[in-house]
Amino acid sequence: MTTRPDLSDALANAELLFDRVAIDAAIADMAERIRADYAGARPLYLTVMNGALPFAGLLALQVGEGVDLEFDYLHATRYRGHTSGGELHWLHRPRTPLAGRRVLLVDDILDEGHTLAGIRDWCLGEGAAEVRIAAMTRKDHDRCVPGLVADYVGIDVPDRYVFGFGMDYHEQGRNLPAIYALKD
């Protein structure tokens, strides 16, 4: 059995970056832009599990009326409980046909973008007419997959290990109502 580090130790060695008030304001701003871009449309709203779950639910509620979101989800990961990524591993693919659809991928973080690029490419390969990305956070660095951008970004975070509000620390802390970064 693998022993995971304690979340309490991580919190003791972390800096609070964004509290719930800042997160809610960022989500409201994103929702306004999404409403404008998808007014009268019925996009397929694909939540990337597990990390995007808290963010995706709140964002969908903020988008509200005027955009008829059709929900589905996917679960693809490169991390599988580790802090560095490997090959893309699919745990669940969406059941909704993507052919001809406008797809909005909703994820917790755009870091280097390998996972999102793989998912985006799969969606396009399934015939999606358009794939846009809504990311709660985007890491501030220049290592992103060339050509991959998030169309909607809530908050830019420093190039450090971040966790909370969907993002995990060794599969812990996703339910924290704020975003933290390890100090070292």
- Active site residue ranges: 111
Let me know: does 151 contact 124? Beta carbons within 8 Å: no
Q: Give the number of other CB atoms < 10 A from CB of residue 103.
A: 24
C-alpha R_g of the chain? 16
Q: Which amino acid is at 166?
A: G
- DSSP string covering 99-167: TT-EEEEEEEEESS-HHHHHHHHHHHHTT-SEEEEEEEEEE-SS-SPTT---SEEEEEE-SS-EEBTTB
